[in-house]
């Protein structure tokens, strides 16, 4: 069997975000895979834009990447106790693409935030936003990196408990991909 195809979605646009670093850790823990990093720099969802011009090319690219993926890893910070606008916008656009592209796709969620909860509220909101799109959400273990600036101080996640949870979540994702 060839290496699984993973698609990563980062809810932060910042190049050096803690969530990009967390995605890199997850990919390393997953093992051999063909990895694509999704570009979530999409136009703001606008029903008028969709009616006049259809689904934007960037959204069509994202939809195709989702269709091609065997599994998806989403990592996002928490902004003001909620899901980031970037991630919510991407999910809103994807919901408008014909064919339910996320339906039955194995999806693992993670978060890293500077707060004490590690992005817990945003992660629950993200789960709620994904439910209508019907992916196969991995139910655990939860990966919520609190005090992210401290945990990624060296540039890499070194807290053994967090690393073990990421590894366990990636193993659960692998298992779900194999079941597909």
Of 42, 23, 22, nearest in space to 88 by CA: 42
pLDDT tens by residue, 162-180? 999 999 999 999 999 999 8
Q: Average pLDDT of the chain?
A: 96
For residues 40 and 42, give the distance between their C-alpha atoms in angstroms, rounded to a whole number. Answer: 5
Helix (H) or strand (E) holding 5: strand 5-10
Can you say how many angstroms the Cα of residue 27 is from the centroid of all Cα atoms in its chain? 12
Q: What is the pLDDT of residue 91?
A: 98
Q: What is the pLDDT of residue 58?
A: 97
- Find the distance separating the first CA and the last CA of the chain, reported in whole Å: 13
Strand 34-37 and strand 106-112: pairing?
unpaired
Q: What is the pLDDT of residue 1?
A: 59
- The predicted model gives 113-119 an average pLDDT of 92
For residues 78 and 147, give the distance between their C-alpha atoms in angstroms, rounded to a whole number. Answer: 12
pLDDT tens by residue, 33-90? 999 999 999 999 999 999 999 999 999 999 999 999 999 999 999 999 999 999 999 9
């Amino acid at each position: 069997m060839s290496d699984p195809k993973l698609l990563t979605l980062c809810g932060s646009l910042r190049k050096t975000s803690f969530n990009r670093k967390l995605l890199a850790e997850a990919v390393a823990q997953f093992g051999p895979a063909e990895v694509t990093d999704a570009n979530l720099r999409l136009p703001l969802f606008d029903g008028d834009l969709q009616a006049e011009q259809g689904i934007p090319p960037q959204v069509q690219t994202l939809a195709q990447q989702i269709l091609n993926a065997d599994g998806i890893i989403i990592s996002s910070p928490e902004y003001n106790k909620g899901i980031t606008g970037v991630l919510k916008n991407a999910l809103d656009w994807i919901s408008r693409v014909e064919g339910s592209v996320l339906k039955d796709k194995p999806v693992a969620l993670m978060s890293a935030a500077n707060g004490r909860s590690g992005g817990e509220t945003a992660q629950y909101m993200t789960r709620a936003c994904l439910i209508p799109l019907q992916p196969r959400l991995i139910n655990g273990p939860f990966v919520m990196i609190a005090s992210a600036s401290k945990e990624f101080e060296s540039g890499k996640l070194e807290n053994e408990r967090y690393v073990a949870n990421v590894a366990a979540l990636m193993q659960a994702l692998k298992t779900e991909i194999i079941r597909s």
